[in-house]
């Protein structure tokens, strides 16, 4: 269909008017959604004092997750990309509260990068401290808090598995000396083994 000059002009005026109005509507909608957010935040703060309500919400969320597998993962990724600063702060706070899990988490992640199989228990440090009776696996000195190193017996760089079975605790000195040496060569260099 061809538009006459007159028709085109009035169409563009109409278009301008509509988009102009729309932008006002969008602005109102933003204000509305802010008020709405505030309202629901208040309501939630009030309701979440009730344990029954929290349980109900948790149940509902669990059912939703079961119905939409992958949704949580997608939303978590979205939250991270929308608010990277806030998410990093949240992670830091969690790791500060769970130092043992931090080590396992970081090493699992490193291992994943290197595509190695094997899993490290979240409480591997605690387990090893008990097994090694709080002593360095090499020099047998008492392990000092804050200077305990989780060591891959066979280094990852030498295809050692990232797994509970390939982990030990070393003191800082021994760990620094061992670095990524072969475990037998290292122990021999320290006067152990023949």
Residues near Zn ion (CB under 5 A) are: 136, 138-139, 171, 174
Query: 């992958």: which residue's tokens?
Result: 70
- Residue among 111 and 143 whose Cβ is closer to Zn ion: 143
39 vs 31: CA distance, rounded Å: 12
Q: Using an 8 Å Cβ cutoff, are 80 and 87 in contact?
A: yes
Smallest distance from Zn ion to CB 95, Å? 26
Q: Which residues contact 127 (CB under 8 A, 6 or more apart)?
A: 121, 164
Smallest distance from Zn ion to CB 183, Å? 14
Smallest distance from Zn ion to CB 130, Å? 18
- Residue among 21 and 185 whose Cβ is closer to Zn ion: 185
Smallest distance from Zn ion to CB 123, Å? 22
- Residue among 111 and 137 whose Cβ is closer to Zn ion: 137
Query: Comparing C-alpha atoms, which of 142, 132, 138, 141 is closest to residue 174?
Result: 138
CA dist 78 to 33, 75, 82, 86, Å? 19, 5, 6, 13
- Residue among 97 and 133 whose Cβ is closer to Zn ion: 133
């Amino acid at each position: 269909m061809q538009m006459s000059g007159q028709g085109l002009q009035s169409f563009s005026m109409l278009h301008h008017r509509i988009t102009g109005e729309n932008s006002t509507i969008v602005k109102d909608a933003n204000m509305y959604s802010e008020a709405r957010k505030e309202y629901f935040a208040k309501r939630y703060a009030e309701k979440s004092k009730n344990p029954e309500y929290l349980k109900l919400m948790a149940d509902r969320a669990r059912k939703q997750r079961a119905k939409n597998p992958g949704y949580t993962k997608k939303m978590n990724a979205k939250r991270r990309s929308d608010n990277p600063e806030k998410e990093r702060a949240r992670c830091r706070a969690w790791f500060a509260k769970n130092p043992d899990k931090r080590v396992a988490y970081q090493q699992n992640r490193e291992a994943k990068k290197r595509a190695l199989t094997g899993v490290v228990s979240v409480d591997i440090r605690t387990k090893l401290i008990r097994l090694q009776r709080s002593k360095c696996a090499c020099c047998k000195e008492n392990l000092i808090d804050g200077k305990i190193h989780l060591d891959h017996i066979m280094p990852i760089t030498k295809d050692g598995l990232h797994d509970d079975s390939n982990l030990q605790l070393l003191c800082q000195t021994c760990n620094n000396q061992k670095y990524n040496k072969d475990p037998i060569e290292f122990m021999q260099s320290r006067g152990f083994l023949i």
